[in-house]
Amino acid sequence: MKKRIAVFLAGMCAGVLFVGCAAGSSSSDSSLGGSSNTNSSKSEISAYAGFNDCDAVLDWTKAEMLKRVGPYGLETYPYMYASWRSGGFEGDMAASTEAPASDESSGADFAPMPGTSTTNTQEANVDEGDIVETDGRYVYSIIDSRVRSVDINNATLVSEIDLPQGDSQMVLAGNHLVVATMIWTSVADTVVSNFTITNGSLELRRRDHLEGSLVSMRAVNGQVHIVLNSSFLNRLDFVSPRDGSQDSLDAAEERNIEVVNDMEVEDFVPRTFEEGPMGTWGSKSPVLDCVNLGHPSEFSGWGVTWVASINMNSSAEVPVGTIGILAQSTSSYTSTESLYISTTRWDDAVYEEFVSSRQEPPYTDIHAFAFSSEASDLSYVASGRVEGTLLNSYSMSEYDGVLRVATTSYDFDFGGGQDNGVHILKVKDAELVEIGAVNSMGRGETIQGVRFDGPRGYVVTFRQVDPLYVLDLSDPAAPELVGELKVPGYSTYLKPIDGDRIITVGMAGTETGQITGVQVSVFDVSDPGNPLQVATAEIAQWSEATSDPHAFLWWAETGQIIVPKELVCAEIGGTGCESAVVLKLDGTTLTEQGRLFQWFPIRRVVIAQNQLVTVSAGGTKVSRLSDLSEISYTRFDIPGTDAEDNLP
């Protein structure tokens, strides 16, 4: 047996190239349609291929594995370029919590009481998973692996139920609360707990385990869609050589080739099982039909990115695998019409005698799937490719028949470096074709924040200062960079509030690039060619809102901005420790109204019946919007400690 060389290519990126068209796919119902500019500069277009049956799935996967199997198993050591930039699987940065009455980006999948905020989402009518939900009377929260419901009218803890230990998020869909928990184990396991709600009281209806790590959770038209990444390497019984001798290496490689050849489709298709009421586990079964799987023509990681959908309008409410790709996703984006899955190119060292040492710039493939009329099913529409990598889900936006995508690209040649751009893609047949682009924003910098608002786009990059770029995207075939403003620091979350102003949260800084603290800024973009920073407030050393804008609240009815911050206990006593800041915005004037206090760090702030509600591990406090005075406080029991019992 010939000797082979394993090569570790850290930080190098190779491609995901999809070909063909999925079975039963159609682009006619997609919101992305129409003709495209045939003069597009993009020479390569990503596509997508479905499988006809399980034999085809197995044959393709075995062929890819046999190219890469060696004495230590599958030894390509690929590195997903975007993972360190996006903070892991959830490069899908969440959104804020704010008022649907004044902001059409409300994603609520229910009708909240008047004067009540809902989870603000990137897109209107698309709810996003978060740790707090409210319908106005009852506030539901997940902290310390417990889901709780509080009746704020009576300051009563209605329900308190333990969840699996892990990272959880939830959506409120009618009289159901659906919780997805990525549990802390060595095997990727996402547990979906479906609770029914009766007068705020929670009752567990069913609990399902889904194989994979949680990427995103969305609710559209009463349907819950969960995107997961599932790796199957731990399911294959590969061996390692006993020692470094050639005989041992050859024997191990021969055995590992046998493992691949003996593999069945059940060895890598994601699985599911139901957990019984007493913790008993049901039988495992494949969650995806082979005809619902697609594949890349080139290697894109040992895993399956797939979507579990729950029809909340049916009596079954069972997670069903709707689509899957034999690739590993770096981000996903959901509109009311479509779901997009992006996969960033891998640099794949196929197990050969030699490989190139030249680092190749990364690109990202994007695959579009259309929702059925009730959003309960998905079908393939088109795929496309953009240069560079995405920051998070906010890097994509569907508007008026096109998809806008913001990327940071990398050129490793002499005179190259980082560049940033916005690419406009439109469906032509089964391809997402680039019809326009704006490049050369912040050369040598990386994107820190993105927001699309109708026909405009806003991009923030950073190295020493924060250039805010304003783009006119009204003509998709000829997008323009129309405005630029350089200020110290940078913004990570941008919130357009009335077409003429943007509220941002980020980090304040000096002219030399030194970061000094968390800052809320207001920009006047009424003249897009001359954006102005009209107000700033440096409020804290740290805030969860800089990385998860669900923690940010803008209440337009009163002009209040509320941002949680680090806990500061200058004096122990009174109402607790300072843990959030309330600002008031009047035109272009930003002033501090006051600080909010709890004994534990405030995680979220919501408005319920025109009252301000803060949620922490210690409890739920209701305060007046006018003067921030306390109305009521419902204390929580904290697992594993009695510290809360000794507080005033």
pLDDT digits (tens, 9 = 90+) for 230-270: 988 888 999 999 999 999 999 999 999 999 999 999 998 99
Would you say 327 and 301 are in contact if contact means Cβ atoms under 8 Å apart? yes
Percent of the chain scoring above 70 in pLDDT = 82
Residue 529 is classified by DSSP as T
Angle, in degrees to the nearest 10, between helices 54-66 and 246-261: 170
Q: Provide the pairing of β-strand 490-496 with 293-295.
A: unpaired
CB distance 423 to 386 below 8 Å = yes
**Cross-strand pairs, 132:** 141
Q: Return d(Cα 215, Cα 96) in angstroms, integer.
A: 18
What's the rounded Cα separation, in Å, for the pair 593 and 600?
A: 21
- Tell me which of 90-104, 105-119, 512-526, 619-633 is least confident: 90-104
Number of helices followed by number of strands (H, E) in the chain: 3, 45
- The answer, yes or no, to whether residue 84 has pLDDT greater than 80, is no
Cα separation values, 454 from 124, 127, 285, 381, Å: 12, 19, 43, 23
Tokens at 255, concatenated? 């055995």
> What distance in Å separates the CA atoms of residue 347 and residue 432, rounded to the nearest whole number?
23
First to last CA, the chain: 75
Closest CA to 442 of 421, 412, 416, 471: 421
Helix (H) or strand (E) holding 248: helix 246-261
Q: What is the mean pLDDT of residues 120-126?
A: 85
Tell me the three state secondary structure of residue 149. strand
What integer pLDDT is reported at residue 388 of this predicted model?
92
Query: What percent of the chain stands above pLDDT 90?
Result: 64
The whole-number pLDDT of residue 28 equals 32
Q: Which of 37-41, 179-183, 389-393, 616-620 has the lowest mean pLDDT?
A: 37-41
Burial classification of residue 153, based on how many CB atoms lie within 10 Å of its CB (0-12 exposed, 13-18 middle, 19 or more buried): middle
Q: In residues, how long is the chain?
A: 648
* pLDDT for residue 162: 95
DSSP state of 120: B
Amino acid at 175: N
Res 118 pLDDT > 70: yes
Whether 98 has a pLDDT exceeding 60, the answer reads no
Q: Per-residue pLDDT for 30 more than 50?
A: no
For 45, 75, 179, 527, the CA distances from 258, given in Å and listed in that order, are 36, 16, 41, 66
Residue 346 has a pLDDT of 57
For 277, which DSSP code? T
CA 434 to CA 240: how far, in whole Å? 46
Buried b (16+ CB within 10 A) or exposed e, 522-533: bbbbeeeeebbb
The rounded mean pLDDT for the chain is 84
Assess contact for 441 and 448: CB atoms under 8 A: no
Residues in contact with 316: Cβ distance below 8 Å, sequence separation at least 6, in sequence order: none
Contact assessment for residue 583 and residue 595, using Cβ atoms and an 8 Å cutoff: no
Question: Is residue 194 over pLDDT 50?
Answer: yes
β-partners of residue 340 are 333, 368
| Degrees to nearest 5, angle at CA 85 with 213 and 466 | 140
Q: What is the pLDDT of residue 143?
A: 95
- What is the amino acid identity at position 343? T
CB 408 within 8 A of CB 391: yes
Can you give the pLDDT at residue 355? 58
Task: Detail the DSSP E strand segments found in 73-165.
Answer: 73-74, 97-98, 118-119, 127-128, 132-134, 138-143, 146-151, 156-162
Half-sphere exposure of residue 88: CA atoms within 13 angstroms, side-chain side? 8
d(CA 201, CA 220): 24
d(CA 550, CA 521): 17
**pLDDT tens by residue, 381-425:** 998 999 999 999 999 999 999 999 999 998 877 667 789 999 999
DSSP conformational letter for 528? T
- pLDDT at 430 > cutoff 60: yes
What local confidence, expressed as pLDDT, does residue 158 receive?
98
Cβ neighbours for 242, distance < 8 A, ≥ 6 positions apart? 248, 252
Give me the residues paired with residue 604 across strands.
Answer: 615
Longest dimension (CA), the chain: 79
Task: Annotate 160-197 with b (16+ C-beta within 10 A) or e (fewer).
Answer: eeebbebbbbbbbbeebbbbbbbbeeeebbbbbbbbeb
pLDDT confidence band for 113 (50 / 70 / 90): confident
Asked whether the beta carbons of 99 and 368 are under 8 A apart, the reply is no
**Residue located via tokens 């008026």:** 400
Could you confirm whether domain 442-648 is CATH 2.120.10?
yes
pLDDT tens-digit readout, 34-49: 333 333 334 466 667 8
Q: What is residue 640's predicted lDDT score, i.e. its pLDDT? A: 72
Q: What is the phi/psi pair of residue 280, to 5°? A: -75, 150
DSSP code at position 234: G
Residue 59 DSSP SS3: helix
Residue-level pLDDT at 643: 66
Find the helix or strand (DSSP H, E) in which 85 lies.
helix 83-86
SS3 346: coil
Is the pLDDT at 23 greater than 70, yes or no?
Answer: no
Can you read off the two tokens belonging to residue 263? 């593999």
Secondary structure class of 644 (helix, strand, coil): helix
Q: Is the pLDDT of residue 105 over 70?
A: no
Task: Give the tens place of pLDDT for each residue, 500-556.
Answer: 999 999 999 988 889 999 999 999 999 999 999 999 999 999 999 999 989 999 999
pLDDT tens string 277-306:
777 888 999 999 999 999 876 677 788 999
